[in-house]
Structure 1
């Protein structure tokens, strides 16, 4: 046991030193100039980024599960981002994926797919309030992309190269859906998951309509995903594929980033253009798809290509502070915007009172509080007080069937992992309400305490390196979560977080 403890502490020191070195090498904490490399803007699972500029500010949102969702982020330099508020606070049927955030005239629009439908919301200010989501009848698919042509007509493009004309207010369709693009026919040696023509992001410039598409599939092999470019003189085609394709792609499984794709092209400060997209960090699939930024340039013949000479050897600049969890004692009276909930559909599922957060649980559901995992090595702790007969836990949560950590019921602690299987010893711990997870290279260690100062290690640990979409599917990721199952409530307090 002494050797195990020594090794554990030694690893903490080694990991801490390595993390410090990585930050010094790759993170320009006070950077004011956008690096000529790949900037990791949102570290953690923030896929399908969409961005719009308004005045001197940029606004962005991404896909992310939970309730509420579609967080609006704001930045004035493209590097440092802050959360404003969630746009979607009303539940819809199905998961929300791949939104499109745009501004037309004086109104902001959010288009997003869920449950086979395309929804739309509007606001006069990106901070909200946003209108309730409404279904655009007569169109279905995923990955909507908005376009206004040179005559002011509005269109919505969706997966598989389809387009439908919108009404002038952008809230309904005014024509029939037609197919206008078959996708770029890439080489057979690209090593993709599928052809999968998705995410049509539109741009009108100098007489051409550009369609930037995601192709190759989002998961599977490291080389699967990409962004391709085509253009036409008409919104309805025919589209000519770029001779510089692909715009963005992972060519080798040994590159830093896997499955790069789903790009939006936009103009940034000082007339410099950028691509914002997502990708998995190699070796870190459980963390999900991160939001990445890299420069692009326009060629003399009017095409877009990467602004990085050798993307395989591009330097990486992590801005992890944008998403790193902040300590929270839940005493402010307003819930910190870093939190979302699982299996909640209204704000009645929780309340802030008596300097703590109370979550109402229902038997048969996994109700909980969560936030994305954005560091590889860290410690997280909570004070958790459940009602009698409520099963609660502090876990790394993938989905309702797969999570790993500790569970507590009627004063007895137990490990849990894989398909909600109990793991390790059942230990009575009366009057204990502080719990901690230590994560080291996807190894999970559990501790508990009566006072939050003196900790006892749970004897069993486990590995969660296989908790990712290529094994468990559904494009999930690991999230820090406090969960509860049963009829009653759990009280949550004293959230503390530190990197290792």
Structure 2
């Protein structure tokens, strides 16, 4: 599917079954959340390799709970355990599942999806009758959007191959069991369809479920885009939490709204406090906040998990945020977070577990899926990679980073430094990148006779440097969007400062589309092989 086709499909899917935008009386009566004043930059406690850590060690936490590109979070409470996954787009293996016992400290379990399905958008993780399910909207190349399902008897797998449910042109599934004991998926629009009892096939037709609450048309949003339905049954009510306003675009667009009903079939009553979450200005620490799920904490308090862009750092993608909420005496709920740049009390009763993981890699074991993933891989992509015990050898593909399907690693810090050693063989060419997609990347490339400079997603021929290379160590420093490269041909004894510094703050979705993030990339092109070894990561800054 071409990029233009994907954009057209995206507009159609997000539009759903919407009506002309006419403000309702409820919309005019709604009072938007108070605008946060500019806040001093938060000072996170630093964890592994200096990476930002949510848990401050004093009973408080600072958002994000999972830094970096972890959008559209779907969270499952499973006894004393919590599991979360998120949109993985073109990264394979994909759908990394994370585990926590306190909602603040999260550690990856591993990827659930190994078979490429094209781009993967907002999924839903659920458990029913002792079995785990992930419902997946995907657009395999050359095929229309549909919703797939994978299942497992244990959260750490093995997970099944994807099953196409045949729900055409739909995204953002949300699973719920109705008062009739039947299983349903809600999708963008907001529409619903009944599932067979085993959850692996359809047992009904797609139908309209809910006409979402509408904001005044003078609010600055991207588009109406009713999406991300997540459902919860509590007491006599089903609660339907939905995103509207567009997931990117203007800072003030994305928002969280809610409705409730005594039946999964409606009628649905709008929350009188809509919108429950919304960024009101560029002064706030987190932009475009939305796509929320409600979850009960370890001691019975309640929380909202959703995503947002960090002020000034859209390059990091949409990060996972945690906000406290409370149930009110009238059976509704409200968000309590306020300024999310400040420390907040941790959920009560949880036991802190491991948080994050080291990104440095000696390539002695396979870390595909958790750390490394090929961007938009072909079915045979995994065959390119071979672990030797001390290095990762990747056979060349294509002629440059734009068609080489590079190996990528997500990051969650504003500033960081990485190093890696490359060894070329045959007619191999390789390098170190900051990679968004094939049309947006920067970096250095090394061939047998010269050093290449990639800027604005193409080689800058005027900057080519004659330099024989067999083995080289490359260092990249990203200091709040300003990128500096150095390289050494003598095992790090002396370093050459590359002559071009690059500014990358504009490499994000609002410029290039795709809902992705700027990741560290390793590429191998040409007809040879590049061996990568001793990858080092270090976060910078206070």
2:190 to 161, 183, 188: 161
State the Cα deviation string for residues 273-293 of structure 1 (Å, max 9, x = none).
111110000111111100111
CA shift at 1:142, angstroms? 0.4
TM-score normalised by L of structure 1: 0.90
Q: Does 1:375 align with 2:450?
A: no
Unaligned runs of 5+ in 1: 1-17
Q: Name 1:112's counterpart in structure 2.
A: 136
CA shift at 1:356, angstroms? 0.7
Q: Name 2:539's counterpart in structure 1.
A: 499
Contact persistence 2:429–2:528 (CA under 8 A):
no
In structure 2, distance between residues paired with 1:131 and 1:32: 41
Contact persistence 1:358–1:491 (CA under 8 A):
yes
2:98 to 69, 73, 83: 73
Give 3-state SS (helix, strand or coil) of 1:109's partner. Answer: strand
In structure 1, distance between residues paired with 2:409 and 2:211: 38
Give 3-state SS (helix, strand or coil) of 2:412's partner. Answer: coil
Q: Does 1:363 align with 2:402?
A: no
CA shift at 1:468, angstroms? 0.9
Q: Does 1:340 align with 2:373?
A: yes
Q: Name 1:437's counterpart in structure 2.
A: 476
CA shift at 1:405, angstroms? 1.3
CA shift at 1:139, angstroms? 4.4
Over 3 Å counting, the alpha-carbon distance change for 1:114 and 1:442 in structure 2 is same
Contact persistence 1:50–1:101 (CA under 8 A):
yes
Q: Name 2:435's counterpart in structure 1.
A: 397
Q: Name 1:457's counterpart in structure 2.
A: 497
Over 3 Å counting, the alpha-carbon distance change for 1:60 and 1:27 in structure 2 is closer
TM-score normalised by L of structure 2: 0.83
2:274 to 245, 249, 260: 245
Contact persistence 1:147–1:154 (CA under 8 A):
yes
Give 3-state SS (helix, strand or coil) of 2:213's partner. Answer: coil
1:133 to 162, 169, 187: 162
| Equivalences, count | 477
Give 3-state SS (helix, strand or coil) of 1:188's partner. Answer: coil
CA shift at 1:30, angstroms? 5.3
State the Cα deviation string for residues 374-412 of structure 1 (Å, max 9, x = none).
111111010112334333220100101211011122231
CA shift at 1:475, angstroms? 1.2
Give 3-state SS (helix, strand or coil) of 1:470's partner. Answer: helix
CA shift at 1:460, angstroms? 1.3
CA shift at 1:469, angstroms? 1.0
Over 3 Å counting, the alpha-carbon distance change for 1:343 and 1:349 in structure 2 is farther
Q: Name 2:67's counterpart in structure 1.
A: 43
Give 3-state SS (helix, strand or coil) of 1:288's partner. Answer: strand
Give 3-state SS (helix, strand or coil) of 1:454's partner. Answer: coil
Q: Name 2:300's counterpart in structure 1.
A: 271
CA shift at 1:324, angstroms? 6.2
CA shift at 1:234, angstroms? 1.8
Contact persistence 1:44–1:323 (CA under 8 A):
no
2:57 to 31, 51, 65: 31
Over 3 Å counting, the alpha-carbon distance change for 1:19 and 1:391 in structure 2 is farther
CA shift at 1:41, angstroms? 1.2
In structure 1, distance between residues paired with 2:57 and 2:280: 29
CA shift at 1:362, angstroms? 2.2
In structure 1, distance between residues paired with 2:103 and 2:506: 33
Over 3 Å counting, the alpha-carbon distance change for 1:474 and 1:423 in structure 2 is farther
Once the two structures are overlaid, the 10-residue window that deviates more, 127-136 or 64-73, is: 64-73
Contact persistence 1:359–1:368 (CA under 8 A):
no
Unaligned runs of 5+ in 2: 1-39, 47-51, 140-144, 347-351
RMSD value, Cα: 2.4
